[in-house]
Every structure is written in C-alpha cells, then in structure tokens.
Structure 1
Amino acid sequence: MDLDPQLAALRPLGGFFALRTAAPTARQAPRPLPTLAEAYAAASPDGDGHPLTFRVRKVARALRAPETRIAASVAQQGLAARLWSVALGCAALYGELPDLDPRLLLWDPDGSAPDDLWLTEVRARPADAATLADSVLHAHLEPLAEALRTRHRLAPGLLRGNAASALAGAARQLDQWARVHGRTDVRARSRALTAELLAHPLLAATGTLTGTAFRRRSCCLYYRLPGAGVCGDCCFVRPPRSSPRAPSG
C-alpha cells in the first residue's frame, strides 16, 4: 500500500498514531506554530516563549511536578511516543515512511495528541529500520535530548530509556491492533522493526524486550510525582522510599 496524502490508515490506531497532513486552520491554531526544528533550537533556559520551555512548564503545572526535570522527562517521552507511533505505524501498515524532517512538522506545544502535530508535506521514504532510526532517533530524539539537557538535569541514559520505552509502547499498541484485526503482516513487520531498532547502539543498553513486553534499566522519574507509582516497564518494582536521584541507565 502506498502512502496516501492524509495518512488515513493511521487513524483507526488511535490518537498517538494519527497525524494531520494539512496546514492547521486559524480555528485549530490561532497563532503561528513552530516547527520541531525550531523547538529543538537553542534558546535561553528562562525564555517561556520558547516552545520546548513552554511545554515543560505546561506539563509541570498539569502534573504538579515538584521538579521541572520530571516534567521535562514526561514531555520528552510523550513526544517520542508520538513520533515512534507515526513512524512505526506507517512502516507496518504502508511499507513506507513519510519524511519526518523536523522542518516539515509543525508542533503545538499547548496541544495534546492527536492535535499537536501537522506534517506539511507527505513525501515517501523507505520503511527499513535504518531509515526509521535516522528519521526518529537522529533527526528528532537526539536534538530533543540535547535541548532538554541544556535546560534540565537529565541523564543521557534516562532520555535514551524514555526513547526505548516510547518505541516499545507504540509497538505494543500496534501489535494489539494487528492481532484484533487479523493483520499478521502488520504484526510481523512491527515486531521485526522494533527488535531491530532496540538493537540500535543508542537503544541497545536501555532494557530487555520479551515478546512485546519491555523492561527498562532506567527510570523516567514519574514515581516522584505526588501520589504516583511506577510505570509498567520501570526498573523499579515499587517506588523507592528515599532516593536523591533515580538511576540513569
């Protein structure tokens, strides 16, 4: 199946997979939206007008985070999940990948999935694991991690763990959909690509994949939120009672 201009096959998979492919209307985005390339660009750490700073502060308020680095970790993992979902979903369903160049993706830092991203042009690329790694890991998650690390005290291993966890989560949801709908072809492609991507040098030491279950070696810091427990793939089985810093992986 070739890519269609609306990427309509992604919509039944849910909000994290859906991607708008037309410029937002004034009602959808009353103000000009930055590209993800602009969001990853360097800016003053105190500049609330910067899209990444705005997003982290928005997440911090919503979660009542006692430390901004917790919100930064959660925000990074959320964006990673969006990007992996789109990329893996297209690769498994279409056998092609849209060009996800950060300059082509508009981002609403005040939005939520699936209303936060717009792809301004659909251009087909191969759907092999190397292209997915280039399109998501290198083009997005590396500059995103660098931008966050200049503003917040986040260990590289934590951010790599978040990237792997987001990939595994997208793969698990896609696998469940494929099983329900009898799409053995989609299931096989998704599993093969996920295993190959998790063997990438940037992700290989982040955790263990067993079937579709992933156990990471680092913690995203979510347990530090008021009333929160641990995530399903966390390295901890229960929230630490006292820990000055979570392991970085």
Structure 2
Amino acid sequence: MTDPTQALQRASTLGPYFGITTDPNEEVDPTWRALPETDPDHLNTLIDQYAQRLGTDNRRVAASILFQGIASRLWSPVVASAAQGVVPDLSSLHWRWAPGAPIALWLATPTGWPASPQKAFETVMDIQLRPLRDTLHKVVKLADGLIWGNAASALAGTLYAARLAPDLAPKLTPLVQALLTRPPLNTAGTLGPRGFTRRSCCLYYKVPPGGEMCGDCALLDR
C-alpha cells in the first residue's frame, strides 16, 4: 500500500482542490475545526458569510454551494490518493474557512487503507458527507436530491485529474465510474461520453447577476 502522506502530497500537486496539509505544526492553530461540522450554530454563521461572499440573500443557494465546495475538497484528494493505491482515513480531518480564503483541510498523522471503491465511498460519504448533511438540515432545508447531486457532481469533477496526471487515469477513471453507481449517487445523474449530467440543480444560476449554469446542470438545453 502506498504511504498515505506521500499519496496526499502527490495529490496536492494536481491543484488546490486536491490539497490536504499534513504538517503536524498546524496543531497550534486554534482556527482548525473537526470535519464533519456538527455545530449547527457555526455552520449557520458560515452559510451567512458564504451568502455575503456570493452576493446573495438566499441562504439555500449559499448552503448548496458551500456543501458542494466541501464535497469537492473531500472527493478530490481521496480519489487521487486511491488511484495511487491508498484511501486516506478522514475520520480525524480538520477544516478551516474564512471569507476570501479557500476551504483548507488538515490531517496531522495520515493513515489509510488499500484502495477500493467501497472504502473510498465509506470515507467520503459515510464518515464525512452524511453527517455534514444532517447538520446542514438543522439550519437550512435542502432536498436530498440536490445534496447528493452536489456530491455526485463534485465526484465527477475529479475526472479532470486523469488529464493532469495520465499515469493515474487507468485507476482513477474506473474508480469514479464505480463510485457513481452506488446509492444515492447512482440516481443523481448519468456519466456518458460527453461527461456527467446531473438530474438536479445546485442553484448556482440564482447567484447574482444570475443566469449562469454549471456545465453538468440538469437545466441546460442539450
């Protein structure tokens, strides 16, 4: 099995969405918080801040985009690491977000398991996204179809790493394809020759000035 720290370091070279810092010195920073976020009050504040950043007063839009951003930050390093042979354990993951800054992730002492679709699914969906969804529902009501559509869209977005690192493509692409067949992701959209098309909308088109849609949006006229 590939060393988890080395796999995460290689993943981070693919772009900011793929990075998880493993510097143990980060422990002295009190702004790191355990992820998944289980404090509704803190998440509520972040949604308000995210809405301000997006220039909208629609909290559902802000909550949806925030969830999709976190999902992208989770799937990307996990998929890239799994393509190298290891699924990092995210049970001790920490996160940090402040207006004007990207979502940052930190693992002090990375461990992991031999790569498999089942372990990758459990690590992201069961350990992270399902609990985050439960906390989110305490402050903003979003349909599960939208939430898991965001998760599936974030997962499908990791496929571009196969173009950035062709040596990872033989394992990365079938891994993503296998993950998208697992409930509830399997009903969130379809992956075809032209890419992923979701069956729900993340609400981004409501962000001012409005009208812009994501490339995989169900509302696009194809």
Instruction: Measure, in 2, the Cα distance between the counterparts of 1:148 and 1:68.
Output: 11
Instruction: Measure, in 2, the Cα distance between the counterparts of 1:2 and 1:124.
Output: 9
Which structure has the higher relative contact order (CA within 8 Å, separation 6+)? 2
Q: Deviation per CA, 1:86-137: give whole Å up to 9, x if none.
A: 1001011x21111111xx1111132744x61101221121210000010001
Correspondences of 1:1-249 after superposition (within 5 Å): 2-3=2-3, 5=5, 7-23=8-24, 25=26, 29=29, 31-37=30-36, 39=37, 41-43=38-40, 47=41, 50=42, 52-92=43-83, 94-101=84-91, 104-110=92-98, 112-113=101-102, 116-171=104-159, 173-179=160-166, 183=167, 186-211=168-193, 213-228=195-210, 229-237=212-220
Tell me which stretches of 4 or more aligned residues in structure 1 moved more than 6 Å. Answer: none
- Bigger Rg, structure 1 or 2: 1
Percent same amino acid among aligned pairs? 35
In structure 1, what residue type is equivalent to 2:63? A
The alignment's TM-score, normalised by the length of structure 2, stands at 0.91
Q: Deviation per CA, 1:187-233: give whole Å up to 9, x if none.
A: 12111111110000111111010147100000000101112311110
Q: CA RMSD in A?
A: 2.0
Q: Which runs of 5+ in 2 are unaligned?
A: none
The alignment's TM-score, normalised by the length of structure 1, stands at 0.81
In structure 2, what residue type is equivalent to 1:11? S
Q: Deviation per CA, 1:59-103: give whole Å up to 9, x if none.
A: 1011012311100000000000000001001011x21111111xx
In structure 1, what residue type is equivalent to 2:5? P
**Which structure has greater helix proportion?**
2
